[in-house]
């Protein structure tokens, strides 16, 4: 059985040479690249069939199949090498298929609303050898450990001036009222000072301060707010209603004027609206990264369809969690990591059940 070699500058030209010499039924035995271009080794298909029929009888088909399968195997290996080089090791592993347990964990966390970066952090040290249930339990344990809880009961009653930043004006005003109510549990109204450092003070906050006989000052700038804090000294507990943030202005945001004097010891309480997307919360966190954030309060939790963005920011930024603010509560309510995750699961189940394009089975155990 005589084979012939064909060399051309590329595969297309080499195959054309094969067809021209041996016909369309030619059987290609190998393909390789050389300095001269592409080299194809082939044989006339009719010759193969005739030799196989004469010498092998019933085994002719088997001989031809062996040659064909050998050629296909080489071609598939070459294709795999091309894909691997193009995609890189990490992408190739994703294309080739992850471990089923790890893929299931990622899907469950995605159903909770977590983004890719947070999922990678939560699952980075998971051992899948013990099975799915064990791995899921470890993932939830990791997630809870990454939700930093500010447990100190006096966190809202110490003497450090507190400024409420982020979120909407309504969220900030509600949290200010709840912080004032907490202070009134241990202090007389005369010991509390509220500063509205915004162009549009909350009417609800104004009425609340009048009703509780708490002094409130409206200032036009953060520089005026600093002056009021310095003037009051340590005699009063100060709560500041701030205006909207301007992340696009960077460090030129006027709100930053309040923090140029570290001697004031101001603490920031950042508002984390549960209705915001992850990108918005990360943008605010990046804007405030060099400021003294003492903790975060979740707002608008009753309006949320997912807590994924909240879990994302708490995992990636490590903001201490103070609690949640709800309109029907007089003070900020504490919330535990396990309670937050349970709520996130409930919202995720509600979302899955309402969707007609996904299976009705839950994405994670109800008892986890």
SS3 157: coil
pLDDT of 1 reads 54
What residues does each domain of the chain span? 4-95, 98-149+336-368, 162-335
162-335 fold: Rossmann fold (3.40.50)
Chunked into runs of 10 residues, the chain (368 residues) has average pLDDT values of 77 80 74 76 66 48 54 63 54 54 88 90 88 90 87 54 92 95 91 92 94 93 87 82 89 85 86 93 89 91 92 89 93 91 89 62 50
pTM: 0.67
pLDDT of 98 reads 54
Eight-class DSSP state of 258:
G
pLDDT of 97 reads 46
* CA dihedral (108, 112, 117, 119) positive or negative: negative
pLDDT of 156 reads 42
pLDDT of 86 reads 55
Q: Are 238 and 163 in contact (CB under 8 A)?
A: no
What residue has token string 């999922």? 119
In 3D, which of 274, 262, 269, 264 has the Cα closest to residue 179?
269
pLDDT of 96 reads 46
Longest dimension (CA), the chain: 112
pLDDT of 54 reads 52
């Amino acid at each position: 059985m005589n084979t012939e070699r064909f060399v051309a500058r590329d595969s297309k030209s080499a195959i054309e040479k094969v067809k021209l010499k041996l016909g369309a039924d030619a059987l290609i035995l190998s393909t390789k690249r050389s300095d001269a271009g592409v080299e194809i080794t082939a044989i006339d298909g009719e010759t193969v069939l005739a030799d196989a029929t004469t010498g092998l009888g019933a085994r002719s088909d088997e001989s031809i199949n062996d040659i064909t399968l050998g050629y296909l195997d080489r071609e598939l290996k070459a294709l795999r090498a091309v894909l691997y080089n193009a995609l890189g090791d990490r992408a190739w592993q994703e294309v080739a298929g992850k471990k089923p347990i790890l893929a299931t964990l990622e899907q469950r966390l995605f159903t909770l609303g977590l983004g890719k970066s947070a999922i990678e952090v939560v699952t980075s040290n998971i051992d899948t050898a013990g099975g799915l249930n064990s791995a899921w339990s470890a993932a939830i344990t990791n997630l809870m450990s990454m939700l930093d809880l500010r447990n100190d009961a006096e966190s809202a009653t110490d003497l450090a001036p507190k400024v409420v930043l982020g979120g909407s004006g309504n969220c900030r005003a509600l949290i200010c009222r709840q912080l004032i109510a907490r202070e009134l549990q241990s202090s007389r109204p005369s010991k509390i000072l509220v500063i509205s450092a915004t162009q549009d003070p909350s009417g609800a906050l104004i009425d609340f301060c009048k009703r509780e006989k708490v002094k409130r000052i409206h200032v036009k700038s953060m520089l005026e707010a600093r002056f009021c804090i310095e003037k009051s000294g340590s005699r009063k507990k100060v709560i500041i209603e701030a205006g909207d943030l301007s992340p696009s202005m960077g460090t030129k945001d006027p709100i930053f004027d309040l923090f140029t004097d570290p001697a004031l010891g101001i603490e920031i309480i950042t508002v984390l609206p549960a209705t915001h997307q992850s990108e918005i919360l990360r943008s605010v966190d990046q804007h405030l990264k060099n400021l003294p954030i003492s903790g975060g309060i979740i707002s608008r939790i009753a309006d949320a369809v997912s807590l994924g963005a909240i879990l994302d920011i708490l995992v990636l930024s490590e903001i201490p969690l103070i609690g949640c603010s709800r309109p029907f509560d007089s003070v900020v309510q504490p919330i535990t990591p396990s309670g937050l995750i349970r709520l996130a699961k409930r919202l995720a189940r509600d979302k899955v059940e309402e969707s007609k394009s996904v299976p009705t089975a839950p994405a994670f155990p109800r008892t986890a």
